[in-house]
Amino acid sequence: MRLRDIPITAWIGIIGIIAAFICAFFAPWIAPFGETDVLGDVWAPADAQHVFGLDNLGRDILSRLIYGARTTLFVALGATVISFSLGIILSFTAAVSRGAIDLVLSRFNDLMMSIPTLIFALVVLAVLPQNLIVLILVMAILDSTRVYRLGRAVALDVAVMEFVEAAKLRGEGKLWIIFREILPNTLSPLLAEFGLRFAFAILFLSTLSFLGLGIQPPAADWGGMVKDNKDGIIFGISAALVPGAAIAALAVCVNLVVDWLLKRTSSLKGGRGDA
Amino acid sequence: MSNPADAGQPGLRLRERFPLVALIAERLALSIVLLFAVSILIFGGLEALPGDFATTYLGQSATPQAVANIRAELGLDRPVTTRYAEWLGNALHGDFGTSWASKNSVSEQIANRLGNSLFLAGFAAIIAVPLAVGLGMLSVHFRNRLPDKVINVLSLAAISLPEFFIGYLLIYFFAVRYGIATFPATVYAEMSFLERLQAIALPTATLVLVVLAHMMRMTRAAILSVMSSAYMETAELKGLGAFRAIVKHAAPNALAPIINVVALNLAYLVVGVVVVEVVFVYPGMGQYMVDAVTVRDMPVVQACGLIFAAVYIFLNMVADILAIVANPRLRHPR
């Protein structure tokens, strides 16, 4: 793959994602003010010093946005990585073992998927203590059902190939077959799925925070910032729209990259389709 | 299934004579089993998880005696199975108990709010479905040309927007800046139909935008996969006009996936309602559930969770059944 083959839309996406990660890593150096410093009037309009103005407690919105990138990216990425590992391991185990293990895992997965994700999260978060670890785990486990379904479908296609049979006849163990035979051959669609899940995790986390069930204040997080500033909207104060736009921009960037990955995957398979 | 030794059994003969009815009955039964399992998951899962209303409710003053008192008052000291049986039995009669926080009847609240939520979601669906299918067809017709690319980029952007952002954007511009819409979207019983429609204009627009892009992209993919199949190539090669090829060959085959897409997105709409209701302060189920979750009011959370899951399962079932009816191939598995 050459860099020149990457379309312009995908480059926009990649640059956007990198920018967000730079903000997250170097937040204390980039942000002009502190995360929780009160600097002036409530909802003071934007000026040269405060590019996006101040929020509902008089904190600098730009600085909180940069710090918020930390929480949002860290939690979304953590949840995606865990959900992915969980979904892939379980689905590949099911596809390789077949029989009872496959049946039990798949039926349980169907059951989990028959409840809408947001509703399930609301029900579960109603009883669990509110902290970061719980939040990441709940997001990860709920999302892993989607990964499981795709992973199983993809792995089943590969598991019946001759080279897997050859490996089985060689006497390789299940772990070898999963990680050395099936995983490398399913990497391309899985990579696109990873991006898709990441975009979903960003939106899902923001939605939970917006509903007051995600990241707890005073830590800055983009969904929570919308919630904090939403009452200003009626007075024509656009403070809530800035973090909302940041969420949307990041999700668009991830989706642009995913779109390119998906197109690459489908063109690898060949076929007449121009889908 | 087609073992000759079993052919004499009456059940199998019935299945062979009425394959469609048997399949639909099977799917119905599956949904009921699923709903039952979901009720166990919602009730039992919550019991298994750590965290207790009594301790949360009392906060700092949670002495063992006070906790025990509250648990006895709410009936939490009885065994899980007894409480589950009682809860399910009452729920089947339409009684979801009383809210812990407000001491009101949950069923009464839900009776008012469920109608509001369905009204909002239904109205959004009426607008979104024809629009999405139309745009999907348009996009296939102009595939890889300018209109398709524009639609593709716009829908990709729309998918990435969180519901609440779209909602506030609409409020900011249409309700605050230009003042042509109302906010918050309050509805009450005495409102006339037209007043109601006016009140829900912005929430409906938000829901339509949220669901439209998904539905359109899925419709486009479904039609494209039909259009790129071998029989469409044959139709093209034998000189059939584009219109006739689409009407006679593509449409019957694309119907099943499109119906499926629509039903799936309606199920998605039911969930989207939750966030939109919170944004627009609309008195529906979603708002009720979110409020209950923040104060850990379990009877309300359980009831709302079960109802949302039931609607979702029902719509998915309708999707499957319509797909079976529309596609004869699905009637004869294997």
* B247 at A interface, C-beta within 8 A: no
Nearest residue to A110 (alpha-carbon basis) of B298, B31, B319, B211: B31
Q: Which residues of B touch A254 (CB under 8 A)?
A: 160
Across A126-143, b (16+ Cβ under 10 Å) vs e yields: bbbeeeeebbbbbbbbbb
pLDDT tens-digit profile of B99-128? Answer: 777 777 888 888 888 888 888 888 898 999
pLDDT band at B13 (very low <50, low <70, confident <90, very high): low
The pLDDT value recorded for residue B320 is 82
The pLDDT value recorded for residue A77 is 93
Q: Which residues of B touch A128 (CB under 8 A)?
A: 49-51
Are A124 and B49 within 8 A, CB to CB? yes
Are A149 and A114 within 8 A, CB to CB? no
Cβ partners under 8 Å of residue A35, min gap 6: A59, A63, A64, A67, A218, A219, A220
Q: Could you give the percent of chain A with pLDDT greater than 70?
A: 95
* Residue B131 pLDDT greater than 80, yes or no: yes
Q: How far apart are CA B219 and CA B214, in angstroms?
A: 9
Which phi and psi angles does B7 have, rounded to 5°?
A: -60, -25
Neighbours of B17 (CB within 10 A): 9
Start-to-end CA distance of chain B, whole Å, equals 10
Q: How far apart are CA B301 and CA B319, in angstroms?
A: 27
Are A113 and A199 within 8 A, CB to CB? no
Q: Of A36 and B157, which is predicted with more confidence?
A: B157
* Residue B332 pLDDT greater than 80, yes or no: no
* B59 at A interface, C-beta within 8 A: no
Give the relative orientation of helices A187-210 and B163-170 as an angle to the nearest 10 degrees.
Answer: 50
Q: Which residues of B touch A230 (CB under 8 A)?
A: 164, 168, 279
Neighbours of A107 (CB within 10 A): 12
pLDDT tens-digit profile of B155-187? Answer: 888 888 888 888 888 888 888 777 777 777 777
Which residues numbered 131-160 in B keep a CB inside 8 Å of some CB on A? Answer: 143-144, 153, 156-157, 159-160
The pLDDT value recorded for residue A205 is 92
pLDDT band at A274 (very low <50, low <70, confident <90, very high): very low
* B33 at A interface, C-beta within 8 A: no
pLDDT tens-digit profile of A214-267? Answer: 887 777 788 888 888 888 887 777 788 888 899 999 998 998 888 888 877 665
Q: Among the residues of A160-186, which ranges form H helices?
A: 162-170, 174-176, 183-185
Name the average pLDDT for chain B.
79
Across A158-169, b (16+ Cβ under 10 Å) vs e yields: bbeeeebeebbe
The pLDDT value recorded for residue B50 is 59
Question: Could B164 and A244 be called an inter-chain contact, meaning their C-beta atoms sit closer than 8 Å?
Answer: yes
* Residue B8 pLDDT greater than 70, yes or no: no
Of the candidates A118, A247, A275, which has its C-beta nearest B165's C-beta? A247
CA torsion, points B9, B11, B13, B18, in degrees to nearest 10?
Answer: 180
Question: Could A247 and B168 be called an inter-chain contact, meaning their C-beta atoms sit closer than 8 Å?
Answer: no
> Could you tell me if the ipTM is greater than 0.85?
no
Nearest residue to B137 (alpha-carbon basis) of B227, B65, B208, B73: B227
The pLDDT value recorded for residue B61 is 63
For A127, the token pair is: 């009883």
Cβ partners under 8 Å of residue B231, min gap 6: B249
Are A141 and A113 within 8 A, CB to CB? no
